[in-house]
Chain A
Amino acid sequence: MSTGNMNLTLKVWRQKSTKDKGQMVDYKVSEISPDMSFLEMFDVLNEDLITKGDDPIVFDHDCREGICGMCSMFINGRPHGPKDAVTTCQLHMRSFKDGDTIVVEPWRAKAFPVIKDLTVDRSAFDRVIAAGGFISVNTGNAQDANALPIPKAQADAAFEAAACIGCGACVATCKNASAMLFVSAKISQLALLPQGQPERYKRVQNMVAQMDAEGFGNCTNTGACEAECPKGISLENIARMNRDFYAAKFISEEEG
C-alpha cells in the first residue's frame, strides 16, 4: 500500500480570534505516510508545532469516521479536498503526491465566522434547525413499526435527505455562501414522511426565514453544493423545498 513517505508544503490559514485579520502561513511537513488521514497529518504538524513551542493549528474534528460532520477544511480550493463523497477525516494522504503544496482554509461565509484558525462557528445551522427542523410529538411507547405504511421509494428519499451531516461544505463551496442544500435536506427528510405532515408548511416558512436571517446568500443553481456534498445530497431537495415554500406562502392559510 505504502509508496514511501511524503514531504509536503502546507499553506494554512492562521487567525487568532474572530476579530483578528488572519493570514496564510507556510509549513513544511516531512515523513508523512500516504496511509494517514488528512487530519492525522495535521496531528503530526501540531505535535511538531507544540514541540517547538508554537501555537498548534486549531481545527474541528470529532468522530473521524465521516459521520459526525465536524471536520471542515477547504483543501486546494474544495471543501473536504479533491475526493468526491468523503469528509476531510476520510481523505487520505495517498490522494496527494510527494512534494505537493496544499492550501488549507476555513469555510468562508458571513454566517460562519472564524473562531480560530480553521474552526468556524456553525451555530447558524443549529438555529435553522431550532426554527422548525423537528416534529412535535408527545413521547410514550414506541408504536408498531408497521402502523404507518410508507412506500419504499418515499422512505428511501427521506433517508437520503437525512444523510446530511450538517458539515457546511455546501455553504463553503457555493459562490453565494447559500445554505439551501442543507436547509432543503432538513426540510425534505420530514416533508417526505407522514410524521412530518402536521407542521410541514409552518416548518418550511420558519426554517427559510431563519436561513435568510442568518445572512446566507441566495441560491443560483450552480450545482456546486451537490457536487461537493460528502453525503451526495441532491438538488431535488432544493426543488422540493421551493415547492413546499410556494405551497405554504401562496396556497396554505397557515402563517409561519
Chain B
Amino acid sequence: MGSIANAFSSSIGKKLIMGLTGLFLISFLLVHCFLNCFVFFDKTGVLFNEGAHFMATNWIIRAMEVVLMLGLLLHIVQGIRLTLENQAARPVKYAYNDGNANSKWYSRSMGLLGTLLLMFLVVHLSDFWIVSRFTGIEHFNGGTPVDASGHEDLYAVMLAKFSHPWRVILYVLAMISLAYHLLHGFASTFQTMGWNHKKYTPIIKTMGVLFSILIPLIFALMPIAIYFGLGL
C-alpha cells in the first residue's frame, strides 16, 4: 500500500490525478450539456424543468453531485499545487523565450484558463445552484416557485438571468476559455494515462478537438438563444 500512496505523490501520480479528475469533469460536461439542450426545444420551459427536477430528485445524481464537487476541488487544488511546483522548478526566467515556436499558447496557459473558469463557476453557481438550493426562486417567477406542471421553475430563473446582456457576454467568454482548456486537456489526459498509440491517438485527438468546440459552442448558444428568444 505504501507504494500506491507514494505513487500519487510522484510527478507522474500528480499528473494522473489531474488527468483523471479532468476526464471525470469532461463526463459531467457531457451530461450537463445534453440535459440543458431542452432549452432549445421548449419555450414554455416545462421540458427543461422536468429535466432539472429529475436531476434534483434522483438519488444517484445527488450522490454524484458530492463526488463531482470533490472531483472539482481535487482538480483545482492539484492544479494550484502543480503550478506552484512548476514555477519553482525555474527560479530564474529566460530574458527571451519563444514559446510559440514549439507549443500552443493554450497548452502553456492551462492555469490561467482554469482560473478564468473558476471565476466563471463562482458566478454560475451563484446564478443557479445557490438560487435553487438556498435563496429560492420565487421572486424570479412572480412569487411562485413552480411552473404549470408543478416542477421547480428553474427556466424562469434562466430567462431572468439571461435578460442581462453583460451576463450573456460573460457566459460566452467563459465558454471560449472552456474550449481552449479542453483543447489541451482532452488529449493530454490520454497521454498522461499512457494511451499513446499509433492507431488510437489520432482518433483521440480528433475527438478532443470536436468535443472542445462542440460542447462549449452548444453551452454558449443557450444564453444567446434565451436572450434573443430563439428556439422551438
| Segment at the interface with B among A44-52, A129-137, A243-251 | A243-251
Contact B95 A24 (CB under 8 A): yes
Q: Which one of A109, A211, A255 contacts B3 once the chains associate, using CB atoms below 8 Å?
A: A255
A95-111 with Cβ < 8 A to chain B: 103, 105, 108-111
- Decide if A217 touches B97 in the complex (CB within 8 Å): no
* Interface status of A176 (Cβ within 8 A of chain B): yes
Give the chain B neighbours of A13 by CB distance below 8 A.
Answer: 95
Q: How far is the CA of A24 from the CA of B95 in the complex (A)?
A: 8
With CB as the reference atom, state the residue of chain B lying closest to A225. Answer: B102
Q: Which of B3, B94, B99, B107 contacts A74 (CB 8 A)?
A: B94
Q: List residues 171-185 of chain A with CB under 8 A from any CB of chain B.
A: 173, 175-178, 180
Knowing A108-B92, A217-B90, A218-B86 are in contact, say whether A208-B98 is a contact too (CB < 8 A): no
- B167 contacts chain A at the CB level, 8 A cutoff: no
**What residues of chain B lie closer than 8 Å to A236, measured between beta carbons?**
196
Interface residues of A: mostly helix, strand, loop or mixed? mixed
Q: Is A155 an interface residue (CB 8 A)?
A: no
- Decide if B98 touches A78 in the complex (CB within 8 Å): yes
Q: Are A208 and B12 in contact (CB-based, < 8 A)?
A: yes
The answer to whether residues A173 and B102 also contact, given A76-B96, A218-B14, A242-B12 and a CB cut-off of 8 A, is yes
Q: Are A219 and B11 in contact (CB under 8 A)?
A: yes
| Cα distance A185–B62 in the bound complex, in angstroms | 45
Contact with B along A74-88 (1 / 0, CB 8 A): 101110001000000
B181: which A residues are within 8 A, CB to CB?
Answer: none
B15 on the interface (CB 8 Å rule)? yes
Complex Cα distance A215/B15, Å?
16
Q: A223 at the A/B interface (Cβ < 8 Å)?
A: yes
- Contact call A110/B94, Cβ cutoff below 8 A: no
Q: How large is the interface on B (under 10, 10 to 19, 20 to 34, 35 or more residues)?
A: 35 or more
Question: In whole Å, how far is A123's beta carbon from the nearest beta carbon of chain B?
Answer: 17
Q: How far is the CA of A163 from the CA of B216 in the complex (A)?
A: 42
Assuming A218-B11, A249-B4, is B97 touching A77 (CB within 8 A)?
A: yes
A216 within 8 A of B: yes
Check: A117 CB closer than 8 A to any chain B CB.
no
Known contacts A77-B94, A109-B89, A224-B103: A242-B192 contact under CB 8 Å: yes
Whether A209 sits at the interface, judged by CB under 8 Å, is yes
> How far does the Cβ of B106 sit from chain A's closest Cβ, in whole Å?
10
Given contacts A110-B90, A175-B86, A236-B196, A221 and B107 within 8 Å (CB-CB): yes
Question: Chain A residues in contact with chain B, CB under 8 A?
Answer: 11, 13, 22, 24, 74, 76-78, 82, 103, 105, 108-111, 173, 175-178, 180, 208-209, 211-212, 215-224, 227-228, 235-236, 238-243, 245-246, 249-250, 255-256
User: Which 8 A-B pairs give the minimum distances between C-beta atoms?
Assistant: A77-B98, A239-B196, A217-B89, A243-B194, A176-B86, A249-B7, A227-B102, A177-B89
| Residues of chain B at the chain A interface (Cβ within 8 Å) | 2-4, 6-7, 10-16, 82, 85-86, 88-99, 101-104, 107-108, 110, 184, 187-188, 191-196
